[in-house]
Structure 1
Amino acid sequence: MSTRLVPDALWEIVEPLLPRFSPRPQGGGRAALDDRAVFTAVVYVLTSGCAWRHLPPSFGVSVPTAHCRFATWAMAGVFDELHRQILDRLGAGGDLDWSAAILDAAHVQAKRGSLTGPSPVDRGKNGSKIHILSDADGIPLVTAVTSANTHDSVMLQPLVTTIPAVRSRRGPRRRRPGRLRADKGYDAAVHRRWLRARRIIPRIARRGIDSSERLGRYRWKIERTLAWLTGYRRLTMRYERHGEHFAAFLQLAAALTCWKKLAK
């Protein structure tokens, strides 16, 4: 199962990104655990959705160690960098479609913690919101987590601004899509002006004008991406007290989704 969760080709990308273990100057202490075993345990928690305390002992990693190492890697930006590395490989192979980017969001129930708020679509229950910006084919480029009561349109500019500069098959790195497609929740004149100023053609549905049928010709790709991500069961219900940890799980899920495209 370990090889299935973290294949050798994926581990070759992950291993150089992990912070190195530094032994204590005075000696003693416990020996460092195998990083691959810990990373595999983290992927298992993301995939299965199990609580940290239910992590199977067969991984050879204790629950406190797995959670502590995950928190350390999240703080160090390991999962964000992993996502960028895989996007670079996709871009170099010509597997990213920059003709358009697609933007959407989804609500997730949450019990407590930072980046939570009353959900306007779930009877005011506490929750968070997942924001995804993908290429024209639905490959996730940028992810973010906010409280559930954050309006979708607030995240348009931050997500577009944080699109990473990705390698191309030829020429310089690229980070600007030709168009931006989004639903009526992002309909605002200020966003259209902002996008045009950056030479991105806005294709945002207009309230009272564009029909849902027309929008569905493109929305199914980002909805498929959201389905891919929520297929990682840890993302279907937020248990993390710290919003940054849930965001790290989302980033790892995006990286693994891109990896599946790369491994085909």
Structure 2
Amino acid sequence: MIWGCGVARPKPWDVDDELWAVVEPLLPKGERRVRHPGRKRHPDRLVFQGILFVLHTGIAWEHLPQELGVGSGMTCWRRLAAWTEAGVWPRLHQGLLARLRSADALDFSRTAVDGSHIRALKGGQETGRSPVDRGRTGSKHHLITDATGIPLAATLTGGNRNDVTQLIPLLQAVPPVRGKRGRPRRRPDIVLGDRGYDHDKYRRLVWALGVKPVIARRGTEHGSRLGAQRWVVERAFAHLHSFRRLRIRWEIRDDIHEPFLTLGCALICWRRLTKL
């Protein structure tokens, strides 16, 4: 479709019918009380749009524009917490990965891992003094992608954690992905890592999972040529941190920041699907 001639271009946080058809079946049904119903419940679709607005813009909950029709920011925050407790976001991500695999758009022949520091201005759980940010309090996003840069899983740690400590958790966090006949695919053939993952202990642990580690060695000259294959995870981080709520961590509670991280991964998968 060509946008113009007075037709408004959709905003990135707009929830179109196709995306809502994927999200809605995953949401728990909120039933109103019969005897004391209270206020009418805000529609889930509008609340989800409010959550996406916060994720994209990084705006504070209390500053959500009333024009969105989502009610108060606290309504969106509560619904985010409830949907997180119900396991909505991992199931959304897993379902989108299955669709990508069904469309032959997911490549498990190799994966790439990396970590990225972010500021954590209010402190909280899973934070620490960042060695790359003058000791300021920060967190780390750890990411594993397929060979084309599609996020398979992400974890959150304090900013003082070494990348290598998340190598096994990342591989174990990859969900079983359906979309093809036979058993779901979960383990890649190869995992690529930079020198930060160079440790013989973790190489043995990776081999034990049935995955071949291809990791640059410390103390060797540059020119391992892994960058020609690992750049996809760096691009995935660029996409992930284009969501302003993930560029700087404002949440004290890690169980509120992590849903944004998983939702961001799911939206990257959704964007890839819409381009197929």
TM-score (norm: length of structure 1): 0.96
Distance 2:189 2:203 in 1: 14
Return the alpha-carbon distance in structure 2 between the equivalents of residues 3 and 220 of structure 1. Answer: 25
State percent identity of aligned pairs: 44
Partner in structure 2 of residue 39 of structure 1:
48
Q: 1:96 to 1:65 in 2, by over 3 A?
A: same
Q: Which deviates the most, 213-222 or 247-256?
A: 213-222
Cα distance in 2 between the residues matched to 1:150 and 1:134 = 20
Whether contact under 8 Å (2:13, 2:53) holds in the other structure is: no
* 1:189 maps onto 2:200 in alignment: yes
SS of equivalent to 2:156 = strand
Would the aligned equivalents of 1:79 and 1:252 in 2 still touch at CA under 8 Å? yes
Query: Within 5 A, what are the aligned runs for 1:222-237?
Result: 222-237=233-248
Contact 1:92 1:170 in 2 (8 A): no
Alignment match, 1:215: 226
Q: Distance in 2 between matches of 1:114 and 1:85?
A: 29
1:58 corresponds, among 58, 63, 67, to 67
Q: Report the Cα distance in structure 1 between the residues aligned to 2:13 and 2:125, rounded to whole angstroms.
A: 33
Q: Does 1:78 align with 2:71?
A: no
User: Where does residue 3 of structure 2 map in the other structure?
Assistant: none
Indicate the residue corresponding to 1:96 in structure 2: 106
Whether 1:139 and 2:111 are equivalent positions in the alignment is no
Amino acid at match of 1:7: D
Q: CA deviation at 1:3?
A: 8.4
**Higher helix proportion (structure 1 or 2):** 1
1:25-64 C-alpha deviation (Å, 9 max, x unpaired): 5233111110000000100110111111111101212121
Supply the AA of the counterpart residue of 2:105: D
SS at match of 2:226: helix
Unaligned runs of 5+ in 2: 1-9
Counterparts of residues 112-261 of structure 1 (less than 5 Å): 112-209=123-220, 211=222, 214-261=225-272
Whether contact under 8 Å (2:144, 2:151) holds in the other structure is yes
Matched, 1:6 2:25: no
SS in 2 for 1:214: coil
Shift of 1:168: 3.9
Give, in whole Å, the separation in 2 of the partners of 1:151 and 1:3: 34
Task: Identify the residue that residue 30 of structure 1 maps to in structure 2.
Answer: 39
Q: How far apart are the structure 2 equivalents of 1:177 and 1:158?
A: 14
- Alpha-carbon deviation of 1:80? 1.4
What is the deviation of 1:197? Answer: 2.2
1:105 corresponds to 2:115: yes
**2:31, 2:44 → 1: CA distance?**
13
Root-mean-square deviation (Å): 1.5
Q: Which amino acid aligns with 2:102?
A: A
Which range is displaced more, 208-217 or 79-88? 208-217
